[in-house]
Amino acid sequence: MDKKAIELHVRGILEAIGEDPDREGLIETPGRVARMLEEVLEGTAYTNHEIAEMFGKTFSAENFGESEAVVMKDITVFSYCEHHLALMYDMTVNVAYVPHGKVLGLSKIARICDMAAKRLQLQERLGRDIAEIIAEAAGSDDVGVKIIGSHSCMTARGIRNASARTETRTYTGEFKNNRDLQKLLD
């Protein structure tokens, strides 16, 4: 990430909106914004495959039966809408997968969700990205992801509907047609 370029452009934005980037409260703003973007968009630096490798620590699932699943709910993440660079917030992610010989470390599921969200995103793509990464990391094509979140591009501007929440679901493998597996995400 080119932090110097970000600083230059943030300064230009401040000037374009009529602010004085040299006034006391704004002098360090371009640098702060550059550091913030580096942090909150960290996932941009990695492909889904690289994230799966980073957080792919697994354990044997020999004792799991064919009809059992791992479910983790209420993982909190935030992201930024690629259309408006607006915050997608108050987001919860539920993930379920059917193990096939191995299970992911539980913290890895939350870390995968967090890193995939640290990109300019669409909520629909975020669900697909998480499903793809979980599938690769866990070695299972049977993955379900449910995301519910608020989008400041709808709540703070435009229609300004503060109570609007968006829900997306992504199903792969057995989750596509198995309503019992889909219910695990509720």
Catalytic residues: 81-84, 123, 151, 153
> Is the separation of the CB atoms in 100 and 140 below 8 Å?
yes
> Is the separation of the CB atoms in 143 and 135 below 8 Å?
yes
